[in-house]
Amino acid sequence: MESESILPDWASKPCIMGIDEAGRGPVLGPMVYGCLYCARSYEKTLSTLNFADLMMPPFMLLLVDSKTLKEEKREELFEKLKANELIGWAVDVIDPRELSAKMLKKIKINLNEISHDSASGLVTRVLNMGVLLTDVYVDTVGDPEKYRIKLSERFPSIKFVVAKKADSLYPVVSGASIVAKVTRDRALRDWVLDETAENMTRNFGSGYPGDPETKSWLEKHQHSVFGFPSLVRFSWGTCTSYSKNMVEVVWESDKTEEDGSSSSSGKRQLKLSSFGVTTSKRKSEEIESSGKSRSKFFQSRKLEQLANF
């Protein structure tokens, strides 16, 4: 049962949920958080479901790390999970551009915080659907106990179990892992490159920083002005080594410092503006109100900033 479907009768009874992610480490593509939930009374059955043609004992069906399964097997498991009306699932697909923007903004949001927010968002979404969640199992990001306390404070009516390798300990998390991994696999496979430059290819390998095919793809698809295609998480350290070949972009508002003097260090610095991120709103407003470094378009038309209507 997909999360958007009509709420079944079993969802009004005490339910458990598992949460796991896929794509935390790659430099390419989205990070996906997935959840799987079912009635607490269905928990034992969940670990004994018999899926045909799986080369493992039935009780080991979901007690596997989805990364150790071949893509075809993950797809098969996912389709069977989707067809089971006694199971619900949902995903949160975080675009690589969103990841980079959050990690490079003035007040940075690190990957752990992004992960925690995504997991919390899935809990909130399922609760808002009307599902009676009583127990949630989460594959940890960071310190398990601190993460558990954080979740418990936000959702005091739910009992949380946060553990390392939770997908190999709890069937409901293993199911969530499969949901997340297959969703990411499909997202990469069906990804439409927005860029229209010549010689764009999809031979980007696994997307992990250590993959030679991924490294080769990054090198061939960097642009001296525009950086990388939108598929790339340009906040990743992997991309830093390529920045020396890129042109520094200086916005008009960057030419004048807040004290009115221009930078004279002569040192070439990498700025967020190099990746299309504008200056902070407060600084921009101060420069705009002072009339310094305003766009020639506004200056020639004698246009002023309107503070109040």
Q: Are 162 and 151 in contact (CB under 8 A)?
A: yes
Residue with tokens 């949920």: 17
Cα–Cα distance between 260 and 263 in angstroms, integer? 10
Query: What pairing do the DSSP bridges indicate for beta strands 133-139 and 31-39?
Result: unpaired
- Please give the C-alpha separations between residue 6 and each of 3, 38, 46, 155, 179, in angstroms, as whole numbers: 8, 14, 21, 24, 20
**21 known member of a binding site:** yes
Beta strands in 185-244 (DSSP E): none
Cα–Cα distance between 30 and 96 in angstroms, integer? 5
- The 3-state secondary structure of 123-153 reads HHHHHHHCCCEEEEEEECCCCHHHHHHHHHH
Tokens of 63: 């007690």
Neighbours of 104 (CB within 10 A): 14
- With vertex at residue 279, the alpha carbon angle to CA 278 and CA 282, rounded to the nearest 5 degrees, is 130
Residues in the chain: 309
Cα–Cα distance between 29 and 98 in angstroms, integer? 11
**20 known member of a binding site:** yes
Burial of 180-202, coded b for 16+ CB within 10 Å and e otherwise, reads bbbbbbebbeebeeeeeeeeeee
> Which among 260, 193, 206, 268 has a CA at the least distance from the CA of 238?
206
Measured in Å, how far apart are the chain's first and last C-alpha atoms?
A: 50
* Residue numbering of the annotated binding site: 20-21, 139
* Residue numbering of the annotated binding site for a divalent metal cation: 20-21, 139
